[in-house]
Amino acid sequence: MCYVVLGSIGLMFNLAHSTLGGMLFVASAALAVPHLGCEVRARRAGAWLRTFLVLAVLVPIYLLAGVSKLRYMG
C-alpha cells in the first residue's frame, strides 16, 4: 500500500498517467495474493486477477487515453 500512496503523491508532481494503471493493479492484487497459496482458491484468484487487469485497468486507461487524444485533434 505504501507504493500506491507514494506513487499517487508522485503523480501530483509529475503530470503523467503512465504509472497509475500499475499502481491500481498492485493495490488490488494485494487482495488476491493471500489466496494464491491455497491450491483450490489459486485458480479462482488467478482468474480474478486476469479479469481485473483487463476490465478495470487496461481497458479504461487505453479508452480514456484515446478519448483525450480526440481533444487535441479538433
56: containing domain = 2-73
Structural domain count, the chain: 1
Average pLDDT over every residue of 50-54: 86
Average pLDDT over every residue of 63-72: 79
Q: Average pLDDT over the chain, rounded to whole?
A: 75
pLDDT at 43: 82
55 in Cβ contact with 25 (< 8 Å): no
pTM, entire model: 0.59
